[in-house]
A and B are shown apart, each in its own frame.
Chain A
Amino acid sequence: MNLFLIELKFAILALRYRIGFAMTIILTLGVTLGALITMFALNHTLLVKPLPYPKYDRLVTTNFSVAISDKTKTTTDSLRANLPGLEFLYKNQTQFTKLAIFGYKRQYLTDHSEQPYLKGQFSSPEYFELLNVPLYKGRFFSDKEGLGTKIPNVVLSYDTWKTYFNAEEDIIGRNIQLDSVRYTVIGITAKDFKEPDFRKVETNYWVPWEYHNYTDKQKSNWGDFKNTIGGLGLLSSKQNKTVTETTLSSLINNEFQQFNNIGLPITVGINLVPLKTLLVGDSKESAIILLISVIGLLLIACVNITNMFFSRATEKQHNLAIQAAMGAKRKQIYLSIFVECLILTSLASAFSLIVAKWGIELLQIMGSDHFNRLDELDLTPPVLIFTFAISICLSAIFAYLSNGLINYQALKKHLQNSGKGSGLQISKKSRSILVISQVALASLLLSGSTVILEKSLSIINYPLGFNSENIISIELYDKSKIAKDKKNRQHLISTIENRLTKMPQITHFSPSTSPPSVSQKQWHVRDSLDNTLGVFQVNQVSSNYFEAIQVPLVSGRTFTKEEVRDGDNVALVSRSAAKLITPDGNAIGKRIYYGPPKQSVSSKIIGIVDDIYSPGADNSKAGFALYTPYDAKELHFLARVDEGQTLTKRQLISALQEIDPQIRILDYSTVREIYKRRIKQSELIAGISTALAFLALTLTSIGVYGVLSYSAQMRKYEMGVRMAIGAKMKQVRRLVIVDSMTPIGLGLLISTIASFFLYWWAYQNFEVLAETKGATLLICPPIILLITLVACYFPVEKIIKNDPIKALRNE
């Protein structure tokens, strides 16, 4: 310990004179290690850290699956069920120790002055028990608030209680009104409750299951599968998931077949998805890819730092020789190197924790749409232990590598040379290995980043197919329920249109079910022979929709106002969809069919429009779209404003208030904003991959420059001799650069082969790469080659531009 402290003192004294060296290592290692710690924290939270629920490893969700003629329809929804099926399962299953059913809904807190639109859940009492929801005060639902009873009680979240009820302690027992129903507050969840992030919304309140507000028709519709309701069950410790799945599927399918009035050979099953798997979702792949990327980055940084420690070892050789002469043993000399490495890596680790803290905050801001459990990210004890362990490991590795450079037998010569000779040198082999590994790692990382970037940019830059500028998407909610029937809704829409089109800035007013490229509905479309043509995204639009969003009509015509008003069975399809219907794309006059066979609806195609790109949709780029007349079910419309003009929300509210004071705006966004939200994840990934590529290239440039600069210094005398005997500058330059190119070429060869193999493997295993081209990988070697050529050129140029005598004198 004593010797350790002495070496510590000596190392600090030595580093005091090498601030540049120390700072370079601290910054390089600190930034890359910070990135690694951030990604470690993310992966640890997502993949390792237990969920904050008891027996979480036995909690599963019951997702309904549907198979038509043995073809199971896969879904990416986190929840999926039909209402009668879910209730039947709840009442009849015997497999789970406990089963909770729940769903999501939104309601206005009508007796609050701001009338906020709150996010709520309707759930059976078991929900709170299974998740062990901590209680701040009051109680949760008991059996008396279970299925079949309608007691209007409500549980509020801690934040909701604080935000909308001023954290009033006497809230329990008080009545509040959600839409038209008055509920009694019976409990407040504790502040630290983290609800499962099924739908990426924070629940404001919970009401008993029976307050789901579905109609009797919906309650008995076995064909209506929703992604807003689901079940959460607890398996017993001895229960096999697959066996339970089979038993439950059989139970639910037998019941389903009794009510199957759809007319298709449908089989319903139940997939049990572990809660943890569900909550991690597809973010697992991204988290692992990010972790691998930052490991690559750290490796490049480590190669650079190894090179710096090598240089330091050569510089330190004199002191080490003195220490050896004074009787220092090999392990004591190793300790002296290790302590210096430890100080630097410890400082770098301390700095990396600051970087990681920033990284985590950045990730929480930017990655919340993609990653779950981000609020749990922090510099937790496992993260700190990881940092400490990696700091020690890196110190040991750097010290080991530097120590390997020391030839103990040669140390004595250094002392006896009395300053003569060149002393310890980094061998050509070591230098070549450094360059090969730097180039190979950087090239691999660059290749990976480029492929991911290509995928992200293909989403971001794909032409939308319509003019998204100056269009505002507006969704309304008619609280007075005056528009309960279609005629009233049509009248309301017409009134709104008349009022808004009087506003000078609005050029188009066009009702539709959803904004362009954000269709929520997908229909299986068939031909007259009942052959499936494909899955089309459906939007119900008005007659001027295509004019409003400026999508050209390819052939035929658009809807007339009368067709929209009467809900005629006519349709428009996109160009790509038309080609699915008829190979020549001339689908005008053809009939298409959709809906259950027994209730099949047929529409005649009257027009074909250009494709609209819908980022994020399964067949996003194909643009298979079906347009039917607007049925006025949703109070949604688009308003195009004149170039340079604006339509503020306040102006809109004021105009709407004139029509009906009860009308509320549910959503007010520009179409550009909606599009931006949809490509946010791609932009995030593009940003991260660009940053990774940039960092990899920068680190490699610095590292290769460092090694080649050292090599050039080693050959300074040789270059001087060559020039002295008449070699021209370009001959010397060519000689040195060609020699340096050997390890660079080898590194590129290794990385090119490795990256093609990795790409091939990833292409087979990751769907995300499906639309990328391996040819992108060919861009990377020339980029690395160019950068390394520049890194080769400058150190040589610095030597040969001077008189040969300077090189001969080693000046």
Chain B
Amino acid sequence: MNKEIKIQLTEISKVFYTDEIETHALRGINLSIYAGDYLTITGPSGCGKSTLLSILGLLDSPTSGKYIIEDEDVSSLTVDQRAVIRNKKIGFIFQAFNLIDELNIFDNVALPLRYRQPSLSAEETKERVLSCLEQVQMSHRANHSPNQVSGGQQQRVAIARALVGFPTMLLVDEPTGNLDSKNGDAVMDMLAELNENGTTICMVTHDPRYAGMAKTQLHLSDGVLLNDLELGETA
């Protein structure tokens, strides 16, 4: 069965310039991510994982190469145009959860919808937020503030926030890095369940155990995608 290509990177390079030194963080990356993929990127520290994730999440632009999301070339968009794509098509999950302490859990999850244009009605926002919180079993804590719940629960809230905008893909950066193994396992189970239900996931991790849970494992070394380890069904 042919799957729809959601993300396509072609010859993506990223060079950082500091004074007279050029640092090649990424060199000619070619990568296709299909609908329903569960992909992990592993590699040693400084290999370019974060840079690749930044480019995938439109938090950074490549020095050269082509980046297509759902048939739209996003390689050279303006800052604001990238913000719009990020809002609609990317869901972020960070190692440090990155919830806003001043907002309660409901408002944290609703945050991506606040920046969506055209804006959603209050009713629709509420419905979608509660549905996502239900999905991560955190609806009973909607009115609490993030610092009133555990780390594992905070990461579940972050997952709900990543899902609320119905993104094309979830970008997950070391999701278990700040969690104990029990909570880490629970989060990984949740991600696996989301993928089984059709969510496309791209995850950066150091942990080989969790990397193994993905359908596709990519290894990055010195900015080069060395090999594709096909562990499950791919197109």
Contact = CB atoms under 8 A, between A and B. Distances in A.
A411 B57 CA distance: 13
A418 B96 CA distance: 5
Contact of B60 (A14, A330, A409): A409
B82 to A, nearest CB: 9
B178 A14 contact: no
B115 A418 contact: no
Interface in A15-31: 16-17
Given A326-B161, A418-B95, A10 B102 contact: yes
Which are the 8 A-B pairs with shortest beta-carbon distances? Answer: A327-B87, A412-B59, A418-B96, A14-B102, A326-B112, A329-B83, A329-B80, A418-B95
A332 B174 CA distance: 28
22 contacts: A6-B114, A10-B107, A13-B102, A13-B103, A14-B102, A17-B102, A319-B100, A324-B83, A325-B59, A326-B87, A327-B84, A327-B116, A327-B165, A329-B83, A412-B54, A412-B57, A412-B60, A415-B92, A415-B96, A416-B50, A418-B95, A418-B177
Contacts of B84: 327, 329
Contacts of A529: none
A594 interface: no
Nearest to B100: A319
Nearest to B162: A326
Given A328-B83, A330-B80, A3 B173 contact: no
B119 A3 contact: yes
A409 B61 CA distance: 10
Interface in A214-262: none
B86 A416 contact: no
A327 B115 contact: yes
A323 interface: yes
A323 B50 contact: no
Q: Please tell me the size bucket of the interface on A.
A: 20 to 34
B150 to A, nearest CB: 17
B133 to A, nearest CB: 16
B102 A415 contact: no
Contacts of B226: none
Interface of A: 2-3, 6, 10, 13-14, 16-17, 318-319, 321-332, 408-409, 411-412, 415-416, 418-419
Interface in B140-157: none
Contacts of A408: 79
Interface in B48-74: 50, 53-54, 57, 59-60
B93 to A, nearest CB: 10
A416 B178 contact: no
A23 B107 CA distance: 26
Nearest to B112: A326
Contacts of A419: 96
A3 B50 CA distance: 31
A321 B98 contact: yes
A48 B86 CA distance: 53
B80 A322 contact: no
A319 B107 CA distance: 13
Interface of B: 50, 53-54, 57, 59-60, 79-80, 83-84, 86-88, 90, 92, 94-96, 98-100, 102-103, 107, 111-112, 114-116, 119, 161, 165, 173-174, 177-178
Contact of B94 (A330, A332, A418): A418
Contacts of B96: 415, 418-419
A470 to B, nearest CB: 69
Given A327-B90, A412-B54, 11 more contacts: A2-B119, A319-B100, A326-B86, A329-B84, A409-B60, A415-B59, A415-B96, A416-B50, A418-B94, A418-B95, A418-B96
A326 B92 contact: yes
Contact of A327 (B86, B107, B119, B177): B86
A332 B115 CA distance: 8
B158 to A, nearest CB: 10
Contacts of B53: 416
B111 A326 contact: yes
Nearest to B95: A418
Nearest to A1: B119
B116 A325 contact: no
A331 B173 CA distance: 27
B197 to A, nearest CB: 22
A329 to B, nearest CB: 4
A14 B103 CA distance: 8
Contacts of B92: 325-326, 415
Nearest to B61: A409
Contact of B98 (A10, A325, A331): A325
Given A322-B98, A323-B111, A418 B178 contact: yes
A781 B207 CA distance: 62
B142 to A, nearest CB: 15
B87 A416 contact: no
Contacts of A13: 102-103
Contacts of A3: 114-115, 119
Contacts of B54: 412, 416
A654 to B, nearest CB: 76
A408 B87 CA distance: 16
Contacts of B178: 418
B57 A325 contact: yes
Given A2-B119, A408-B79, A10 B103 contact: yes
B60 A326 contact: no
B174 to A, nearest CB: 7
| Max count, chain A CB within 10 A of own CB: residue among B60, B87, B88, B114 | B114
A329 B116 CA distance: 10
A221 B95 CA distance: 100
Contacts of A418: 94-96, 174, 177-178
Contacts of A331: 80
A327 to B, nearest CB: 2
A318 B115 contact: no
Nearest to A16: B102
| Max count, chain B CB within 10 A of own CB: residue among A325, A326, A409 | A326
Contacts of A318: 98
A330 B111 contact: no
A544 B60 CA distance: 96
A17 B103 CA distance: 11
Contacts of B59: 324-325, 411-412, 415
Contacts of B83: 324, 327-330, 332
A408 to B, nearest CB: 6
A319 B114 CA distance: 14
Contacts of B116: 327
Nearest to A331: B80
A420 to B, nearest CB: 9
A492 to B, nearest CB: 84
Nearest to A414: B98
A418 B206 CA distance: 14
A572 B94 CA distance: 96
Given A329-B84, A412-B60, A322 B100 contact: yes
Contact of A415 (B98, B114, B119): B98
Nearest to B54: A412
Contacts of A416: 50, 53-54, 94, 173
A328 B115 contact: yes
A51 B177 CA distance: 74
A419 B178 CA distance: 11
A177 to B, nearest CB: 77
| Max count, chain B CB within 10 A of own CB: residue among A2, A14, A322, A411 | A322
A561 B179 CA distance: 108
A184 B163 CA distance: 91
Contacts of B99: 322
B88 A327 contact: yes
Given A13-B103, A416-B54, A323 B60 contact: no
Contacts of B114: 3, 6
Nearest to A420: B96
B103 A325 contact: no
A322 B111 contact: yes
A327 B112 contact: yes
Given A14-B102, A330-B80, A418-B174, A323 B95 contact: no
